[in-house]
Amino acid sequence: MRIEILGSAAGGGFPQWNCACSNCLAIRKGTFAGKTRSQLQVAISGDGESWFLLNASPDLRVQIEANPCLHPEHAPRHSPIAGVVLTGADLDQVLGLFLLRELQPLQVYATPSVRKIIRDDNSMSGMLHRVPEQVRWNDILPNRIFPLTTASGGNSGIGCEALPLATKFPTYVKPNRVRDLTATEATLGLILECGGRRLAYLPTVPSVNESLLARLDAADVILFDGTFWNDHELIETKASDQTATALGHIPVSETLRRFADVQRPRKIFVHINNTNPILDESRPEFRAVRDAGWEVAEDGWQLEL
Ligand SMILES: [Zn+2]
C-alpha cells in the first residue's frame, strides 16, 4: 500500500488565517524552527493506480496539484481518485468533497448518519448528484471489514474496517437532528489492510482503552490524533476556553504515556493544531515526542507498506 500525507495540520492549517498564537506569529516572521502545514489529507493506493482519499480537506485542490500520482492523464476528464472514505462530518473532513464536483464518478464511504448530514441535509450536495453515475454512497457499518472498490466497481485490493471512536456530531448539526442519528456513527478510526499490511488512521481520538491499544499494536503504521500537546493548550494560548478533552482529542502528552508499550508500529502524529508546541523542532515537547519513538507528520511525506 502506498500512503501519501498531503496535509498534516488540524482544521485551520498552520498558520491559521485568524491566529496570532506564538507559533503562527513566528512562522509568518520566518523565525520558526518548523514547517507550514495544510489541513490533514491522506491518500492511499493498493495498486498505484486507483487512489482513495481519507476524508476530503478544504485544501484539496492545492494538495492534488502538489502530488503527481493524483493528476489526470488518460483522458480529457479523468482522475486517479477512485473514492473518499469519511471518518466524520467535521468541515475540515468534508469540505473537499464539494471541490470534487465536476461530474467525476466517485465512491464515497460514510456511516449512514454522516451520509444523512452531508447528503440529505445540505442542498449543495446536489452538485455531487447531477448525473446518476456521479457520486455513489456506500454505507460504513462499524466493526466490519469492507472492500474499497474502484470508481467502476473493481477490487482495489484494500480492505477497510471502521472503529467507532467518539459519539459527538459536529456543532452545526442541530440537536433535533442528532436525535435521529446513531451516536456510534459520529467519528471513526480506520484500519486499512492491503497484502497483509495494516495502516491505522485515527485523526480524532477522545480516549484510548486496552482493546484499542491492542488493535493498534497489530498495525504497521499508525497515523494518530496529534491535535493538542496538553489539555489546556487552547486556554493557555487564549485561542479558546475549551479543553482538548472537551473537543474530543486526547492530548499528545497523554498519548505518549498510554502508548509506552506499543512498540511494533511506526507511530506518526497527524492533525496537529497550529497552537501545538510539537510543531516547533527547537522545543522540549518536540524532543519528548521523538524520544518516545513517535514522529510528527509533515506535508508531502510518502510511505510504502
Ligand atoms: Zn496559531
Instruction: Note the pLDDT tens digit of each residue in 89-134.
Output: 999 999 999 999 998 899 999 999 999 999 999 999 999 999 998 9
Residue among 155, 143, 152 nearest 111 (CA):
143
* pLDDT > 90 in the chain, percent: 90
Q: How far is the CA of 244 from the centre of ligand 1 (A)?
A: 15
Q: State in Å: Cα 15 to ligand 1 middle.
A: 6
- The predicted structure's pLDDT at residue 206: 96
- Give distance in angstroms: CA of 101 to centre of ligand 1: 31
**277 confidence band (pLDDT: 50, 70, 90):** very high
Distance (angstroms) between ligand 1 centre and the Cα of 236 equals 12
pLDDT value at 152 more than 90: no
What is the mean predicted confidence (pLDDT) over 46-59? 97
Interacting residues of 55 by C-beta distance below 8 A, sequence separation 6+? 40, 41, 42, 84, 85, 86, 87, 88, 92, 93, 94, 96, 203
Q: Hey, what amino acid is at 140? A: I
The one-character DSSP state at 118 is I
Dist. CA 268 → ligand 1 center (Å)? 21
CA 39–ligand 1 middle distance (angstroms)? 13
pLDDT at 133: 87
The CA 14 to ligand 1 mean position distance, Å, reads 7
* Residue 151 clears pLDDT 90, i.e. is over it: no
What separation in Å is there between the alpha carbon of 287 and the centre of ligand 1?
Answer: 20
pLDDT classification of 227: cutoffs 50, 70, 90: very high
Taking residue 238's Cβ as centre, other Cβ atoms within 10 Å add up to 10
Q: Is the pLDDT of residue 300 over 90?
A: yes
Q: How many residues would you count in the chain?
A: 305
Query: Quick one: CA torsion of 133, 187, 58, 84, rounded to 10 degrees?
Result: -30
Please report, rounded to a whole number, the percentage of residues in the chain having pLDDT higher than 70. 100
Please state, rounded to an integer, the average pLDDT across all residues of the chain. 96
Rg from Cα positions in the chain? 19
pLDDT at position 291 is: 98
Distance 13 CA to ligand 1 centre (A): 9
249: CA distance to ligand 1 center in Å?
Answer: 17
pLDDT, position 75: 81
Å from CA of 35 to ligand 1 middle:
13
Among 218, 217, 288, residue whose Cα is nearest residue 251: 288
